[in-house]
């Protein structure tokens, strides 16, 4: 598992679909005000990673169910909007699909 966190969605030039089939996008579009930011958040999350991974392994014991949920997320309107914003080819194809 690789966790990549950015202010903007990452774009990939991989055309084989290897990355897009495996990535799960969590969009956090709201900016946390400066006075509400936790300077220890990174350390707190790092300390919780073993528990988070254990919970993920517990929730997704059935690989088929995990694949189904991943497919649903990948086809969600939010995920497609983000992909269109980061991949010109996906955006172009999405434009073509809109034609009758």
Domain-by-domain residue ranges, the chain? 40-97
Answer yes or no: are the C-beta atoms of 72 and 78 closer than 8 Å. no
Using CA atoms, how far apart are residues 48 and 82, in angstroms rounded to an integer?
A: 28
Percent of the chain topping pLDDT 90: 21
Using CA atoms, how far apart are residues 17 and 83, in angstroms rounded to an integer?
A: 12
35-53 pLDDT, tens digit each: 999 999 999 999 999 999 9
């Amino acid at each position: 598992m690789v966790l990549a966190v950015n202010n903007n969605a990452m774009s990939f030039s991989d055309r084989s679909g290897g990355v897009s089939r495996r990535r799960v996008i969590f969009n956090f579009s709201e900016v946390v005000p400066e006075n509400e930011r936790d300077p220890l958040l990174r350390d707190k999350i790092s300390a919780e990673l073993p528990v988070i991974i254990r919970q993920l392994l517990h929730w997704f014991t059935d690989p088929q169910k995990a694949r189904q949920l991943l497919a649903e997320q990948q086809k969600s309107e939010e995920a497609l909007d983000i992909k269109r914003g980061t991949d010109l080819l996906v955006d172009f194809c999405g434009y073509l699909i809109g034609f009758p």
